[in-house]
Amino acid sequence: MNVEPTKTTNIEYKTDLFTRIVKFSPRFLLACLLIPVLAGLIGVVLPAFGWAPALSQYKIGLHGFTALWQTPGLVQMAMLSISTGLISTLLAFIITLMILAAFFNTVWLNYIQRLLSPILVIPHAAAAIAIGFLIAPSGMLSRLVSPWLSGWELSPQGIFPHDAMGISIILVLTLKELPFLLLMALGVLAQPELGKKLRAQHKVALSLGYCPMTAFFKVILPNLYPLLRLPILAVLAYASASVEMPLILGPNTPPTLAVAIMQWFNDVDLNLKIKASAGALLQLAITGGLLMLWLFGEKVVMYFCRDLLTNGEREYSGAFWQKLTSVLITGVIGFILLALVGLLLSSVAGFWRFPSAIPDQLVLSHFQSALTQMAGPVINTLNIGIVSTALAILLTLLCLESEQLRNKSVSRFMSFIIYLPLLVPSIAFLFGLVWLQQLANNLSVFVSVVLTHLLFVLPYVFLSLAGSYRRLDPRFSNVAASLGAKPHKVFLKVKLPQLFAPILIAAALGLAISFGQYLPTLLVGGGRISTITTEAVALANGASRRTSAVYAIMQMVLPLIGFIIAWLLPKFFYKSAHH
């Protein structure tokens, strides 16, 4: 008799709606990420081999690839994608390591983090526009030395931007990916257990007479690197296949492969779509090859450096490297500040003839005329951002809660899948996705765009929230549960309030990611939904420097507002709670 009721409550507990939703959520998350990517890939593979009902072509064959091989400059395009992707990732990685090594366990690291993290929220397009202003032959750098030093009365003939080697692209990609890698590394080091252990080991190494930089490379890096691997691969995948930066700063005789693919897809000649699909597969192979190359390089470096770790050498002219790092980081920050100053000046410039370093007059008319046309795009940007971020946070929280209910963390497979949209070049699956959406035909454009943004927002939101969620002290929930609180009550009343600040930060990050999306908005929205980013890229290649400066500034201001709110709101709430 006594056994019966316990059994029923037990069943009730297990089939509780909240619990069921929570337990189901990881599978839903997987579906949300996997289905669009795989479906999109299929939508590219089929036309690549000639099967394109949309063009009434049903002949399976390799003619798409034949057309691709015959494209003049294909090798150059591919090489440009490979070199810009690989070099920028390597540079960003090396500089990250140098900064970490030189300033590990010092206050400087915090300062650098604070100075560099705002760059993370600058959308790629805005960064490209700003740096373009700086390095152009008539840009800020050149104006600062003219005519007193250079004697230039007219702008000189330079090679930046749009240089054939892709140096401008490498420069901007490096500057943009550096803060990302640095913050990822700092995030890893902020994990209480691991961070504490590593800091202690570093101290031990110092007391054994190791130079701080040597200690970092020999003690910290081997433990840190495995946790940085996925972010680095994501950076590499992005850099090798990005579209907006090479579009704004890259060469066009020929462009990078990803840009060329986009142009073929959009060409009047619809038969080019077959070639474009074949190109998308080539892009996939290139990105995949680069990822493999990186993993292989890892092995090689590990093989050759194994002995170095234990050779007992304490000093590799650390003082020199430390100074070099300081110079480098000052250069990077100065470069970015100068770019921002140039951007701000351009946005309010009247006549501003070369070689004056400041405009003849300052006017607000560019802001006025841009703001009157900006309302629609800004509203679209916000709507898409808010809906996709809200969905991403909801899904992430449910998945993390299911982790805790099951009492084990997500599988390796799952954590890989979360990274999938960041590892597969978006140019390779978005076109297929658009094609399939044409077939399905019944989703509204807004919903399609939001779902596609979700693909790119989810990984970041998940990564940003997972740490805080897993660090929650389980004793609070245990106490609440032992007092009879149902799982949903524990979730809503105990866990969420503790996560208030991290959720806001994740939301701000999600919004920033969504605001910055160019290709997904353009392709899936079919041009019907214009956001501040699609406008900025269109204008960067069209309209005046001044107008595109205004759009770039708006692109930076929107996510910044998000982060400021995320930073202020908890203070305000905690203060009122305190009272």
Partner 1 sequence: MHVSRFGKILTRYGICCFAFFISLTISINSNASAANTDLNLRWQGIEQLGKNQDVYFHAWGGDPQINAYIQWTAQQVKALYDINLHHVKLSDTSEAVSRVLAEKSANNDTHGSVDLVWINGANFATMSEHSLLLKQWANYLPNFKYTDPTNNPAVNFDFGIPTQGMEAPWGQASLTFYYDSLATDNPPTTLDELVIWSAKNTGRFSYPKPPDFLGLSFLKYALVILHQDSAIEIQSLLNQPVTDQSKVVVLSPLWDFLDKLHPTLWRNGKHFMTSGAQLRRLVDDTELSLAFTFSAPEVPAAVKRYDLPASIRSYAMSDGSLSNTHFVAIPYNAAHSNSAQLVANFLLSPRAQAEKQKSNIWGDRTVLIHSMLENKQSAWFKAQEPHPSALPFNSIQRTLSEPHPDWVNAIIQGWNVRYGVSK
Residues that bind partner 1 (CB under 8 A): 53-56, 72-73, 76, 136-138, 154-155, 157, 159, 162-164, 251-254, 265-270, 273, 349-354, 363, 365-366, 369-370, 372-373, 435, 438-439, 441, 445, 526-528, 530, 535, 537-539, 541-547
Least distance to partner 1 from the beta carbon of 266, Å? Answer: 5
Least distance to partner 1 from the beta carbon of 422, Å? Answer: 26
C-beta of 153 vs 315, nearer to partner 1: 153
Residue type, 390: A
Q: Which two tokens stand for residue 40?
A: 């999109």
Least distance to partner 1 from the beta carbon of 545, Å? Answer: 6
User: CA dist 504 to 41, 122, 380, 500, 507, Å?
Assistant: 34, 18, 21, 6, 5
C-beta of 19 vs 347, nearer to partner 1: 347
Number of other CB atoms surrounding residue 242 within 10 Å = 29
CA distance 299 to 305: 10
C-beta of 54 vs 358, nearer to partner 1: 54
CA distance 468 to 466: 6
Least distance to partner 1 from the beta carbon of 175, Å? Answer: 22
CA 481, chain centre distance (Å): 39
Q: Which two tokens stand for residue 446?
A: 């807004």
Spell out the residues 6+ positions from residue 194 whose beta carbon is closer than 8 angstroms to its own: 188, 223, 227
C-beta of 319 vs 379, nearer to partner 1: 379
C-beta of 37 vs 247, nearer to partner 1: 247
Number of other CB atoms surrounding residue 387 within 10 Å = 18
Least distance to partner 1 from the beta carbon of 377, Å? Answer: 9
C-beta of 82 vs 566, nearer to partner 1: 82
> In a 10 Å sphere around its CB, with 0-12 CB exposed, 13-18 middle and 19+ buried, how is residue 104 labelled?
buried
C-beta of 176 vs 366, nearer to partner 1: 366
C-beta of 267 vs 313, nearer to partner 1: 267
Least distance to partner 1 from the beta carbon of 82, Å? Answer: 17
C-beta of 495 vs 546, nearer to partner 1: 546
CA distance 33 to 451: 10
Least distance to partner 1 from the beta carbon of 172, Å? Answer: 17
Dihedral angle, C-alpha 133, 138, 139, 142, nearest 10 °: 160
- Are the CB atoms for 237 and 152 separated by under 8 Å? no
Dihedral angle, C-alpha 415, 417, 418, 420, nearest 10 °: 130
C-beta of 55 vs 293, nearer to partner 1: 55
> In a 10 Å sphere around its CB, with 0-12 CB exposed, 13-18 middle and 19+ buried, how is residue 23 labelled?
middle
C-beta of 436 vs 565, nearer to partner 1: 436
CA distance 49 to 190: 48
The residues pairing with 349 across neighbouring beta strands, listed in sequence order, are 362
Least distance to partner 1 from the beta carbon of 336, Å? Answer: 22
Q: Which two tokens stand for residue 168?
A: 């401008």
Q: What is the 3-state secondary structure (H, E, C) of 524-543?
A: HCCCCCCCHHHHHHHHHCCC
> In a 10 Å sphere around its CB, with 0-12 CB exposed, 13-18 middle and 19+ buried, how is residue 413 labelled?
exposed
Least distance to partner 1 from the beta carbon of 337, Å? Answer: 22
CA distance 172 to 84: 10
Least distance to partner 1 from the beta carbon of 382, Å? Answer: 18
Least distance to partner 1 from the beta carbon of 386, Å? Answer: 21
Residue 171: φ, ψ to 5°: -60, -50
CA distance 215 to 206: 7
Least distance to partner 1 from the beta carbon of 146, Å? Answer: 11
C-beta of 174 vs 547, nearer to partner 1: 547
The residues pairing with 362 across neighbouring beta strands, listed in sequence order, are 349
**CA angle, 395 then 399 then 402, to 5°:** 140
Q: Which two tokens stand for residue 21?
A: 């939703």
